[in-house]
Amino acid sequence: MKVIAINGSPRQNWNTATLLNKALEGAATQGADTELIHLYDLTYKGCTSCFACKMIDGTLQGRCAMKDDLTPILGKIRDEAGAIVLGSPIYLGAMTGEMRSFLERFVFAPTVYTKPPKSLFPRKMRTGVIYTMNLTEEGSQERGYGKMFSLTEDILRRTFGEAETLCCYDTYQFPDYSKVVMEYMDPAKKAIRRKTVFPEDCRRASELGGRLASGV
């Protein structure tokens, strides 16, 4: 099995990327071949509503018609992946724009407007989503983030099969808090959480990757 991780963060070695790598390490323990793709390395757009993926007697059969840096990535997932894990920080109450644009292309093309809706993706594929955020879990609940998490998971489940979500809260956002204006946070408490809680988040990410690769 191949497990592909998609990093929707602009940073390639911080919280989101670290957790994705841990998920891939967990997948590798189950014998999976793994690959990490950074969306911010690519030049692409979200869905442009051309509907070529849905034309009667069309040739694309649920595949996106757009040609850009995302095209071979979508093809690789379609042809090779047995599972994928997506990762995004929360920006302005939502996943990053790059991840959202990726999902538009990834999910919409194989979805057909039937009753009930069906998927033209060639097989069932397990999916996981990792979110990182500066907010505490309580703050996330107060702002209703759970609805977004559930909606994304539901869309992935209906299109590809199994799906699950892992959230990492109250992250250590900056390497050096003394260099940024951040008056309402306590850098010392953030540092302690980074040392004590983030390792547990890494462990949970590794277990997620293992489940995706093993089907358990």
For residue range 43-73, what is the model confidence (pLDDT) as tens digits?
999 999 999 998 988 788 899 999 999 999 9
Cα separation, 86 vs 106, whole angstroms = 12
Q: What domains appear along the chain, each with residue ranges and CATH number?
A: 2-211 (3.40.50.360)
Percent of the chain at pLDDT exceeding 70: 97
Cα separation, 159 vs 151, whole angstroms = 12
Closest CA to 53 of 109, 106, 103: 109
Cα separation, 55 vs 35, whole angstroms = 32
Average pLDDT, the chain: 91
Cα separation, 95 vs 128, whole angstroms = 14
For residue range 150-206, what is the model confidence (pLDDT) as tens digits?
999 999 999 999 899 999 998 877 677 667 777 677 777 877 888 898 999 999 999
Q: Is the pLDDT of residue 4 over 80?
A: yes
Whole-number pLDDT of residue 96? 96
DSSP state of 179: G
∠ Cα 45 49 50 (to 5°): 100
Rounded to two decimals, what is the model's pTM?
A: 0.92
- How many C-beta atoms lie closer than 10 Å to residue 123's C-beta? 10
DSSP state of 11: -
